[in-house]
Amino acid sequence: MTEWYPLKLEPQLKERVWGGRWLVQNLGRSAGGWAEEGERIGESWEAFSGSLVTNGTWQGHSLGLLYDEYPLELAGEISKSHAEFPLLVKFIDARENLSVQVHPDDALARTLENYRSGKSEMWYVMEAEPEAHILYGLNDKVTSLEQLSEALKQGTLLEYVSSIPIKAGDVVYLPSRTIHALCQGVVVYELQQESDITYRLYDWGRQGREIHHEKGLQAINLETHNLKVSHPTPLQHEGFASVTLVECPYFTNELVEISDQLKSSERAEGTDKGRSFTLLTVLSGAGAIVSPSNAFAAEAIHKGDTFLLPANLSYTLKASTTPEPLRVILAQANS
C-alpha cells in the first residue's frame, strides 16, 4: 500500500521579455543557480503536470505521471472528471507591461487548438508599486466585435479596455474570454486551468511576437464590461485567519494566515477531504507541515515553497516565529 505525504515541488523558472529579478531575489531562486545573472525571469511555475517532486518516495517523479498512475489516491474525486492534471500555479513578476491578451474557453480551445481546456485564472496581488494598474475587461465605448477588429488594425485597442488601479492584497478573477493585461510594477500569485493558450492582441510596440487578430476576436466576450477587483479580509479563528479568494467552476482557493496552527479538518466548507488534492503555496513566513506520514520529522515550509497535499491526507500547518507571518494559499480543483 502506497503511503502518501506532502509532496514538495520544484519550481521551473521562465524567462520573459517583460520579466525582472524579483522572483530570484525574493523567493530564494538564485540559491540553486536556477537563474543566470541578467536573465529576465517573468514566471516561476510552481505546480503543474510537469512539476517534479523533490522529497520522499516520489522524488524525481512528475505530478503528471503520479496523476496518471494514482488518480484517486493523489487527486481524489475530481480525477473522475479530469483525465489529466487540471491546474497550474505560478508566481509572475511584471517589471514591464505584459501583452494585452485573451484566453479561449474550453469549447473554443477544443475547436481552435484541439486542446482539452481553455484558461480561466485568478491573481492575488503580492506587491504593487505606487500607481500600479492592470487592464481588465472592456469599457463602455465598446459596441461590437467589428469595432474591436478595426481597433486592432489601427493599434487603438487600449481606448476600449478598462484600466484599474491595483494594490497588494487585491484579488482579480479572470474568466476565459476576458481581455486583460498585467502591467508593470506588479507581482502576483496566479492560479489557472492548466492551459497555456494565449491570444495576444496588443504588445506595446515589441517586435517579433505574433498578434493573434482572428483567433483573439473569436475569443473575446463582449459582456465583460466594468469589472471589479476585490480586496477580501480574512476572518479570525482560533490559531489562524482565512478567507476564500475565488470559487469558480474550475478551482477554489483560500488565503490563510496562521498564528499558531491550522488542521486540515478546520478548512473552509467546500474544501472537504477526499474531493481534491490541495496545492499549498507559501507567500510569507515559515513553518512546518505535520501529517501521519511525517509526524516525527515535520516537513519545513518557507516563503516561495509549493507542496501538493494528496486528497485524503490529514495534516496540520504550524507557524514558526519569524518577522513575517505564515501566509499560505490553499488551492483545490473543482469538477
Q: Supply the residues annotated as catalytic.
A: 200
DSSP-H helix ranges across the chain = 22-26, 63-69, 71-75, 106-113, 145-154, 213-219
- Three cell numbers, residue 63: 505530478
CA gap 139, 160 in Å, rounded: 6
C-alpha distances (whole Å) from 110 to each of 105, 271, 289 are: 9, 29, 39
CA gap 269, 34 in Å, rounded: 39
Residue keyed to cell 521579455: 17
Residue keyed to cell 489529466: 84
DSSP 71: H
Backbone angles phi, psi at 57, to 5 degrees: -55, -35
Q: Would you give the distance in Å from CA 51 to the centre of its chain?
A: 14
CB 100 within 8 Å of CB 179: yes
Q: Can you spell out the DSSP letters for 234-298?
A: PEEETTEEEEEEEE-SSEEEEEEEESSEEEGGGSPTT--TTT--EEEEEEE-EEEEE-GGGTTSP
Q: Are strands 286-290 and 278-284 parallel, antiparallel or unpaired?
A: unpaired
